[in-house]
Amino acid sequence: MQPMPESREDAEEEWIVEKIYEAVLDQRLRPGVKLSEAELCEAFGVGRMRIRRSLLLLASREVVELLPNRGAFVAKPTAQQATDIFEARLIMEPPLLKMVLERAQAPDLAELEQHLRAESQAREAGRRREAIRLSGLFHTHVAQLAGNAVMMRAVKDLVARSSLIIGLYGDPGLTSCRDDEHASIIEALRAHEAEQAQELMVSHLQHLKEHLDLGLQKHAPQNLVQLFAAESLS
């Protein structure tokens, strides 16, 4: 039962959820996009029940929103949710760096550097989507090296939702983390400077948040009534 870590049956389920997570991460799936059951059935070649369960899973993670009798849509985090999410990341992620230094082995850090190189290469080669995805994955990779499954999952969810937030409120120019900040974090880890690594992560997350305009959503009609109501009042 617990000797083997995972002998799960929901391999199929988990796989669909993972695929949608990936699509959200590299912004192929934008906030508000409708996730039709029929389309997803065809896309993944599975029955409606599987899709339904997967969507429920994603909704419980607040990555999709389930409207009654309307269907499933990629979530559109509110400004309040966005601040909550980044606040949570500021709480959770810096301590992970200390844990990484306490537990991770040399090959683990090498793996992180390898990840960073892939990220830079994708950016330079103009593979924008892959660059965005790897940029987000950097944070989950750090969480994984910290060796705590609970924190790992929490960070993973927050990173995915952050991707949605950047899609909604982000500057169209800077669509993801600047990788030089990732590089400096790794540098501090290499030097076993736990304190500095944590501070760098803090400022990195703050920069990420500062490059958002939480005042108004980008391509977000979403509430035509109050939108045009405001227009008529002005």
Partner DNA sequence: ATAATCCTAATCGTTAACAATCTTGTCAAC
Partner DNA sequence: GTTGACAAGATTGTTAACGATTAGGATTAT
Binding site for DNA (CB under 7 A): 9, 36-38, 47, 49-50, 52, 66-72
Is-contact 132 27, C-beta < 8 A?
yes
Residue nearer to DNA on the CB measure, 18 or 171: 18
Half-sphere exposure of 145 (CA within 13 A, CB side): 28
Candidate segments 37-45, 62-70, 167-175, 181-189, binder of its own copies by CB under 8 A: 62-70
Rounded CA separation 116/52 (Å): 36
Under rule CB under 8 A, residue 202 binds its own copies: no
Residue nearer to its own copies on the CB measure, 28 or 228: 228
* Residue span 24-53 as binding mask against its own copies, x where in contact by CB under 8 A, dash where not: -----------------------------x
Q: How far is CA 47 from CA 13, 33, 120, in A?
A: 11, 21, 39
Candidate segments 61-69, 122-130, 184-192, 206-214, binder of its own copies by CB under 8 A: 61-69
Q: If we measure between CA atoms, which residue out of 181, 175, 211 comes closest to residue 199?
A: 181
Q: Which residues contact residue 98 at a Cβ distance below 8 angstroms, ignoring those fewer than 6 apart?
A: 194, 197, 198
Rounded CA separation 140/202 (Å): 16
Residue 121 Cβ vs its own copies, minimum distance, rounded to whole Å: 33
Positions touching its own copies (CB under 8 A) are 1-2, 9-10, 53, 56-57, 60-61, 66-69, 78, 80-81, 84-85, 87-88, 91-92, 95, 99, 148-151, 154, 158, 222-223
